[in-house]
């Protein structure tokens, strides 16, 4: 998880003013990671032999 965030999604460092903005940014990164992972798993399931 952290490798994907570091390499593909701009790093794990959050620079923002305010705790609410930092939490929102982290939440959006987590949501993006989860969506990308879902697409990856769906592709693997579609190509897997029955």
pLDDT at 2: 66
**Successive 10-residue mean pLDDT values, the chain, 50 residues:** 70 83 90 91 88
From the list 41, 14, 39, the residue with the least C-alpha distance to 28 is 14
pLDDT at 49: 81
pLDDT at 42: 95
pLDDT at 20: 93
d(CA 48, CA 4): 24
Q: Model pTM greater than 0.85? A: no
């Amino acid at each position: 998880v952290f490798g994907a965030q570091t390499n593909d999604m701009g790093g794990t460092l959050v620079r923002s003013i305010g705790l609410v903005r930092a939490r929102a940014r982290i939440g959006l990164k987590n949501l993006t990671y989860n969506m990308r992972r879902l697409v990856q798993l769906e592709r693997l399931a579609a190509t897997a032999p029955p």
